[in-house]
Amino acid sequence: MDWFTLALMSAITLAAADALTKKFLPTYRGWELLVIRIGVPAFLLLPVIFIYPIPAVPAAFGGLMAILIPLEIAAMLLYMIAIRDCPLYLTLPYLSFTPVFNILTAYLFLGETVSWRGFAGICFVVSGAYILNLNQNNRGTWLAPLSAITRERGSRLMLSAAAIYSVTSVLSKRAMGYATPESFGPFYYTLIGVVLLVLTAAVKPGSLRVLGQRPVQHLIIGTLMAVMVCTHFLAIARVEVAYMISVKRSSLLFGILFGALLFKERHTVRHLAAGTLMLIGVWMIAT
Protein backbone atom coordinates (compact mmCIF):
# COMPACT_ATOMS: atom_id res chain seq x y z
CA MET A 1 0.00 0.00 0.00
CA ASP A 2 1.46 3.40 -0.98
CA TRP A 3 1.94 6.34 1.37
CA PHE A 4 -0.94 8.40 -0.08
CA THR A 5 -3.48 5.62 0.51
CA LEU A 6 -2.17 5.11 4.04
CA ALA A 7 -2.31 8.84 4.81
CA LEU A 8 -5.84 9.09 3.43
CA MET A 9 -6.88 6.12 5.58
CA SER A 10 -5.40 7.89 8.59
CA ALA A 11 -7.43 11.02 7.80
CA ILE A 12 -10.69 9.15 7.26
CA THR A 13 -10.37 7.00 10.38
CA LEU A 14 -9.57 10.05 12.52
CA ALA A 15 -12.58 11.95 11.19
CA ALA A 16 -14.81 8.90 11.64
CA ALA A 17 -13.61 8.41 15.22
CA ASP A 18 -14.38 12.07 15.97
CA ALA A 19 -17.87 11.88 14.51
CA LEU A 20 -18.74 8.56 16.17
CA THR A 21 -17.41 9.81 19.51
CA LYS A 22 -19.82 12.72 19.25
CA LYS A 23 -22.69 10.42 18.18
CA PHE A 24 -22.18 7.45 20.52
CA LEU A 25 -20.76 9.12 23.63
CA PRO A 26 -22.49 12.53 23.98
CA THR A 27 -23.04 12.17 27.75
CA TYR A 28 -19.48 11.13 28.64
CA ARG A 29 -17.39 13.55 30.66
CA GLY A 30 -14.14 14.80 29.18
CA TRP A 31 -11.93 12.43 31.18
CA GLU A 32 -14.15 9.46 30.35
CA LEU A 33 -13.70 10.27 26.68
CA LEU A 34 -9.94 10.20 27.20
CA VAL A 35 -10.19 6.71 28.66
CA ILE A 36 -11.99 5.51 25.53
CA ARG A 37 -10.06 7.46 22.89
CA ILE A 38 -6.61 6.69 24.32
CA GLY A 39 -7.01 3.68 26.60
CA VAL A 40 -8.90 1.38 24.21
CA PRO A 41 -6.64 1.89 21.15
CA ALA A 42 -3.57 1.62 23.40
CA PHE A 43 -4.71 -1.89 24.38
CA LEU A 44 -5.36 -2.77 20.73
CA LEU A 45 -1.87 -1.54 19.74
CA LEU A 46 -0.04 -3.75 22.24
CA PRO A 47 0.62 -6.53 19.67
CA VAL A 48 2.15 -3.99 17.27
CA ILE A 49 4.79 -3.13 19.86
CA PHE A 50 6.05 -6.73 19.69
CA ILE A 51 6.02 -6.70 15.90
CA TYR A 52 7.94 -3.40 15.75
CA PRO A 53 9.84 -3.22 19.06
CA ILE A 54 11.34 0.08 20.13
CA PRO A 55 15.16 0.02 19.79
CA ALA A 56 17.58 0.88 22.58
CA VAL A 57 17.24 4.60 23.32
CA PRO A 58 19.27 7.09 25.39
CA ALA A 59 18.12 8.87 28.54
CA ALA A 60 17.18 11.93 26.48
CA PHE A 61 14.34 9.90 24.95
CA GLY A 62 12.85 9.31 28.40
CA GLY A 63 13.09 13.01 29.19
CA LEU A 64 11.16 13.86 26.05
CA MET A 65 8.50 11.29 26.92
CA ALA A 66 8.11 12.87 30.37
CA ILE A 67 7.35 16.21 28.69
CA LEU A 68 5.25 14.89 25.83
CA ILE A 69 2.84 12.56 27.64
CA PRO A 70 1.14 15.13 29.91
CA LEU A 71 0.94 17.57 27.01
CA GLU A 72 -0.68 14.94 24.76
CA ILE A 73 -3.24 14.07 27.45
CA ALA A 74 -4.07 17.74 28.01
CA ALA A 75 -4.47 18.38 24.27
CA MET A 76 -6.69 15.33 23.80
CA LEU A 77 -8.85 16.40 26.75
CA LEU A 78 -9.46 19.81 25.16
CA TYR A 79 -10.03 18.11 21.79
CA MET A 80 -12.61 15.70 23.20
CA ILE A 81 -14.58 18.36 25.07
CA ALA A 82 -14.65 20.54 21.96
CA ILE A 83 -16.06 17.89 19.61
CA ARG A 84 -18.45 16.59 22.27
CA ASP A 85 -20.04 19.94 23.10
CA CYS A 86 -19.80 21.95 19.87
CA PRO A 87 -20.60 21.49 16.14
CA LEU A 88 -17.82 19.76 14.23
CA TYR A 89 -17.64 22.59 11.68
CA LEU A 90 -16.76 25.06 14.44
CA THR A 91 -14.10 22.88 16.03
CA LEU A 92 -12.26 20.54 13.65
CA PRO A 93 -11.10 23.18 11.13
CA TYR A 94 -9.19 24.98 13.88
CA LEU A 95 -6.74 22.08 13.95
CA SER A 96 -5.38 23.77 10.83
CA PHE A 97 -3.80 26.32 13.13
CA THR A 98 -1.28 23.75 14.39
CA PRO A 99 1.19 24.44 11.54
CA VAL A 100 0.61 28.17 12.05
CA PHE A 101 1.73 27.82 15.66
CA ASN A 102 4.51 25.53 14.41
CA ILE A 103 6.11 28.55 12.79
CA LEU A 104 6.99 29.79 16.27
CA THR A 105 7.60 26.46 18.00
CA ALA A 106 9.73 25.07 15.19
CA TYR A 107 11.85 28.22 15.25
CA LEU A 108 12.25 28.08 19.03
CA PHE A 109 13.02 24.36 19.31
CA LEU A 110 14.51 23.49 15.91
CA GLY A 111 15.67 26.82 14.48
CA GLU A 112 13.39 26.48 11.44
CA THR A 113 12.27 29.65 9.67
CA VAL A 114 9.25 30.53 7.50
CA SER A 115 9.35 31.32 3.78
CA TRP A 116 7.07 33.73 1.92
CA ARG A 117 5.17 30.67 0.74
CA GLY A 118 4.60 29.77 4.37
CA PHE A 119 3.38 33.28 5.11
CA ALA A 120 0.91 33.00 2.22
CA GLY A 121 -0.28 29.72 3.74
CA ILE A 122 -0.99 31.54 7.01
CA CYS A 123 -3.17 34.01 5.11
CA PHE A 124 -5.19 31.13 3.63
CA VAL A 125 -5.70 29.57 7.06
CA VAL A 126 -6.84 32.85 8.59
CA SER A 127 -9.13 33.51 5.62
CA GLY A 128 -10.72 30.09 6.03
CA ALA A 129 -11.30 30.75 9.73
CA TYR A 130 -12.86 34.11 8.84
CA ILE A 131 -15.33 32.56 6.37
CA LEU A 132 -16.09 29.76 8.83
CA ASN A 133 -17.34 32.31 11.35
CA LEU A 134 -19.36 34.54 9.02
CA ASN A 135 -22.56 32.91 10.24
CA GLN A 136 -21.72 33.72 13.87
CA ASN A 137 -22.66 37.37 13.55
CA ASN A 138 -24.47 38.62 10.44
CA ARG A 139 -24.59 42.13 11.76
CA GLY A 140 -21.83 44.66 12.28
CA THR A 141 -18.52 44.99 10.46
CA TRP A 142 -16.57 42.46 8.45
CA LEU A 143 -14.27 42.16 11.46
CA ALA A 144 -17.04 40.62 13.56
CA PRO A 145 -16.22 36.98 12.61
CA LEU A 146 -12.68 37.33 13.90
CA SER A 147 -13.93 38.40 17.31
CA ALA A 148 -16.46 35.53 17.18
CA ILE A 149 -13.57 33.07 17.30
CA THR A 150 -12.77 34.25 20.81
CA ARG A 151 -16.41 33.97 21.89
CA GLU A 152 -17.08 30.45 20.56
CA ARG A 153 -16.08 27.97 23.27
CA GLY A 154 -15.48 25.07 20.88
CA SER A 155 -13.16 27.17 18.73
CA ARG A 156 -11.19 28.31 21.78
CA LEU A 157 -10.80 24.77 23.05
CA MET A 158 -9.61 23.47 19.68
CA LEU A 159 -7.26 26.41 19.20
CA SER A 160 -5.74 25.59 22.59
CA ALA A 161 -5.37 21.95 21.55
CA ALA A 162 -3.79 23.05 18.27
CA ALA A 163 -1.27 25.17 20.17
CA ILE A 164 -0.30 22.24 22.40
CA TYR A 165 -0.04 19.93 19.38
CA SER A 166 2.32 22.43 17.79
CA VAL A 167 4.69 21.79 20.70
CA THR A 168 4.22 18.01 20.83
CA SER A 169 4.69 17.68 17.07
CA VAL A 170 8.08 19.37 17.30
CA LEU A 171 9.25 17.48 20.38
CA SER A 172 7.97 14.13 19.09
CA LYS A 173 9.89 14.73 15.85
CA ARG A 174 13.02 14.99 17.95
CA ALA A 175 12.07 11.87 19.94
CA MET A 176 11.42 9.87 16.76
CA GLY A 177 15.03 10.48 15.81
CA TYR A 178 15.99 7.95 18.49
CA ALA A 179 13.68 5.24 17.12
CA THR A 180 11.91 4.40 13.84
CA PRO A 181 8.51 5.58 12.54
CA GLU A 182 7.15 2.03 12.59
CA SER A 183 8.07 1.44 16.22
CA PHE A 184 7.65 4.94 17.62
CA GLY A 185 3.95 5.51 16.86
CA PRO A 186 2.44 2.41 18.50
CA PHE A 187 4.91 2.61 21.42
CA TYR A 188 4.19 6.31 21.95
CA TYR A 189 0.40 5.95 21.88
CA THR A 190 0.42 2.83 24.05
CA LEU A 191 2.67 4.54 26.60
CA ILE A 192 0.27 7.49 26.72
CA GLY A 193 -2.61 5.05 27.22
CA VAL A 194 -0.87 3.22 30.08
CA VAL A 195 -0.01 6.47 31.86
CA LEU A 196 -3.56 7.72 31.39
CA LEU A 197 -5.13 4.56 32.81
CA VAL A 198 -2.77 4.52 35.81
CA LEU A 199 -3.46 8.21 36.43
CA THR A 200 -7.19 7.61 36.10
CA ALA A 201 -7.08 4.74 38.59
CA ALA A 202 -5.28 7.00 41.05
CA VAL A 203 -7.26 10.24 40.79
CA LYS A 204 -10.49 9.47 38.89
CA PRO A 205 -11.20 5.76 39.41
CA GLY A 206 -14.90 6.25 38.70
CA SER A 207 -14.05 7.12 35.11
CA LEU A 208 -12.81 3.58 34.52
CA ARG A 209 -16.39 2.31 34.84
CA VAL A 210 -17.12 3.52 31.32
CA LEU A 211 -14.92 0.74 29.98
CA GLY A 212 -17.67 -1.70 30.86
CA GLN A 213 -20.34 0.30 29.07
CA ARG A 214 -21.17 0.29 25.35
CA PRO A 215 -18.41 -2.21 24.47
CA VAL A 216 -19.31 -2.34 20.77
CA GLN A 217 -19.18 1.44 20.37
CA HIS A 218 -15.93 1.63 22.34
CA LEU A 219 -14.35 -1.08 20.21
CA ILE A 220 -15.38 0.67 16.98
CA ILE A 221 -13.92 4.00 18.11
CA GLY A 222 -10.80 2.35 19.56
CA THR A 223 -10.22 0.38 16.36
CA LEU A 224 -10.54 3.51 14.24
CA MET A 225 -8.01 5.30 16.45
CA ALA A 226 -5.62 2.34 16.36
CA VAL A 227 -5.82 2.18 12.57
CA MET A 228 -5.25 5.94 12.45
CA VAL A 229 -2.05 5.62 14.49
CA CYS A 230 -0.68 2.68 12.48
CA THR A 231 -1.45 4.16 9.06
CA HIS A 232 -0.10 7.53 10.18
CA PHE A 233 3.34 6.17 10.99
CA LEU A 234 3.41 3.66 8.16
CA ALA A 235 2.77 6.55 5.78
CA ILE A 236 5.51 8.62 7.41
CA ALA A 237 7.88 5.70 6.91
CA ARG A 238 7.29 5.85 3.14
CA VAL A 239 7.36 9.58 2.40
CA GLU A 240 8.42 12.95 3.76
CA VAL A 241 6.42 13.98 6.84
CA ALA A 242 5.27 17.24 5.24
CA TYR A 243 3.51 15.43 2.39
CA MET A 244 1.83 12.96 4.72
CA ILE A 245 0.56 15.67 7.07
CA SER A 246 -0.86 17.65 4.16
CA VAL A 247 -2.96 14.65 3.10
CA LYS A 248 -3.95 13.77 6.66
CA ARG A 249 -5.35 17.26 7.21
CA SER A 250 -8.14 16.26 4.81
CA SER A 251 -9.67 14.80 7.99
CA LEU A 252 -11.06 18.31 8.51
CA LEU A 253 -13.18 18.06 5.38
CA PHE A 254 -14.23 14.50 6.17
CA GLY A 255 -15.20 15.67 9.65
CA ILE A 256 -17.41 18.43 8.22
CA LEU A 257 -19.05 15.91 5.88
CA PHE A 258 -19.67 13.48 8.74
CA GLY A 259 -21.13 16.35 10.75
CA ALA A 260 -23.57 17.12 7.97
CA LEU A 261 -24.56 13.45 7.52
CA LEU A 262 -24.84 12.41 11.17
CA PHE A 263 -25.93 15.63 12.88
CA LYS A 264 -27.54 17.61 10.05
CA GLU A 265 -25.13 20.47 10.66
CA ARG A 266 -26.05 23.34 8.35
CA HIS A 267 -24.22 25.61 5.90
CA THR A 268 -22.15 22.66 4.62
CA VAL A 269 -21.12 24.40 1.38
CA ARG A 270 -19.79 27.42 3.25
CA HIS A 271 -18.02 25.22 5.77
CA LEU A 272 -16.44 23.08 3.05
CA ALA A 273 -15.27 26.23 1.26
CA ALA A 274 -13.74 27.53 4.49
CA GLY A 275 -12.18 24.15 5.28
CA THR A 276 -10.73 23.96 1.77
CA LEU A 277 -9.07 27.36 2.17
CA MET A 278 -7.60 26.27 5.47
CA LEU A 279 -6.33 23.03 3.94
CA ILE A 280 -4.68 24.97 1.10
CA GLY A 281 -2.96 27.07 3.72
CA VAL A 282 -1.80 23.98 5.60
CA TRP A 283 -0.47 22.48 2.35
CA MET A 284 1.44 25.67 1.52
CA ILE A 285 2.93 25.79 5.00
CA ALA A 286 3.85 22.12 5.10
CA THR A 287 5.37 21.76 1.61
Q: From CA 44, how far away is CA 39, in angstroms rounded?
A: 9
User: pTM of the full predicted structure?
Assistant: 0.80
- Candidates 193, 224, 187; CA nearest to 208 is 193
Q: What is the pLDDT of residue 2?
A: 82
Residue 241 pLDDT: 58
CB atoms within 10 A of CB 156: 17
Burial class (CB in 10 A: 0-12, 13-18, 19+), 206: exposed
* Secondary-structure breakdown of the chain: helix, strand, coil percentages, each rounded to the nearest 5: 85, 0, 15
Rounded-to-10 torsion of CA 217, 183, 177, 65 = 50
Q: Of 48, 61, 27, whose CA–CA distance to 233 is shortest?
A: 48
pLDDT for position 127: 77
pLDDT score, position 36: 94
Give pLDDT, residue 265. 67
What does the pLDDT look like over 63-119, one tens digit per residue?
999 999 999 999 988 988 888 888 777 777 777 777 778 778 877 886 767 677 777
pLDDT of residue 138: 47
Query: One-letter amino acid identity for 21?
Result: T
In sequence order, the 6+-apart residues with CB closer than 8 A to the CB of 155 are 86, 90, 91, 94, 133, 149
- Identify the segments of the chain with pLDDT beneath 50: 137-140
